[in-house]
Amino acid sequence: MELWPWLTAALLLLLLLVQLNRTAKFYAKISLYCALCFSASIVAAAVCLLRHGGRTVENMSIISWFVRSFKYLYGLRFDVKGRQKLTVDRPCVIISNHQSILDMMGLMEVLPERCVQIAKRELLFTGPVGLIMYLGGVFFINRQRSQTAMTVMADVGERMTRDNLKVWIYPEGTRNDSGDLLPFKKGAFYLAVQAQVPIIPVVYSDFSSFYNTRKKIFTSGTIKVDVLDAIPTSGLTVDDIPQLMDTCHEAMRTAFFHLSKTPQENGATVQPHAQPAQ
């Protein structure tokens, strides 16, 4: 029996469904995004190995080039303010809000030279994506073992100053599309105080007008990005970390509402102040 007519009919039906059904279109775009991540990781890994021979922060410029190209396919535009604040030639800790899988595009859009990320260890085992993260010098942390995580963070602090690295961390610790910021975890702030390096907050506007998992929306849109002024940690100690966290959280939250044009009601969206340790 000839299968081609049936396969063609099924493909046409799928294309029609995607055009007519918002949910189908949403999952089709998500599937394409995942496929892009895997295929681009394979190609980028080969380029990284040919160019630099192995694991090095220098590979991040190659990875960034591949990921930045995704925005053209999805009709996304980045409006960045204060980009020059990330070009300082010294170690620092960069923190930003964490909303969705699209954050990777946002990160690569403004990623400065000699900057690596801290990620959960599970991502190391995601095939070519884990491989390219490893080749880019990403530090992996086992969040289930606090002692191991602390050892990795101590090593990161030493390497920051020795190798003149910038380290990018999501202090919320998990994706959050609530329209507000979650309380921050302490890891990024311990790292900055330990290494006595400044913290540079980077804030991305709310994605929900064009990317919303609950409403199954994934359309084109503009992401506003604001790189805030560096917050110094020189002379601070562990005892100063709670105040440092509050200062960064307040500054980023204010910027987030401003960028997102979201009215900040009197305490209506304020999150609990409990700060879970990382």
CA-CA-CA-CA dihedral for 66, 70, 76, 77, to nearest 10: 20
Q: State residue 268's pLDDT score.
A: 41
Could you tell me the two tokens for 153? Answer: 């963070």
Q: State residue 254's pLDDT score.
A: 97
Helix (H) or strand (E) holding 93: strand 92-96
Distance CA(215)–CA(89), nearest Å, equals 43
Q: State residue 271's pLDDT score.
A: 44
Query: What residue has token string 């995004």?
Result: 33
Q: State residue 22's pLDDT score.
A: 80
Q: Tens of pLDDT along the chain (278 residues)?
A: 466 666 666 666 555 655 657 888 888 889 889 999 999 999 999 999 999 999 999 999 999 999 999 999 999 999 999 999 999 899 999 999 999 999 999 999 999 999 999 988 899 999 999 999 999 999 998 876 766 677 788 889 899 999 999 999 999 989 999 999 999 999 999 999 999 999 999 999 999 999 999 999 999 999 999 999 999 999 999 999 999 999 999 999 999 999 998 544 434 444 444 444 44
Using a 10 angstrom Cβ sphere, with 0-12 exposed, 13-18 middle and 19 or more buried, the burial of residue 266 is exposed
Helix (H) or strand (E) holding 211: strand 211-212
Do the Cβ atoms of 199 and 92 come closer than 8 Å?
A: yes
Q: State residue 270's pLDDT score.
A: 44
Ordered by start, the domain boundaries in the chain are 17-260
Query: What's the whole-model pTM score?
Result: 0.86
- In whole angstroms, what separates CA 232 from the centre of its chain? 22
**Check whether domain 17-260 has CATH 1.10.10, yes or no:** no
- In whole angstroms, what separates CA 103 from the centre of its chain? 4
Distance CA(32)–CA(215), nearest Å, equals 19
Q: State residue 29's pLDDT score.
A: 87
Q: State residue 275's pLDDT score.
A: 43
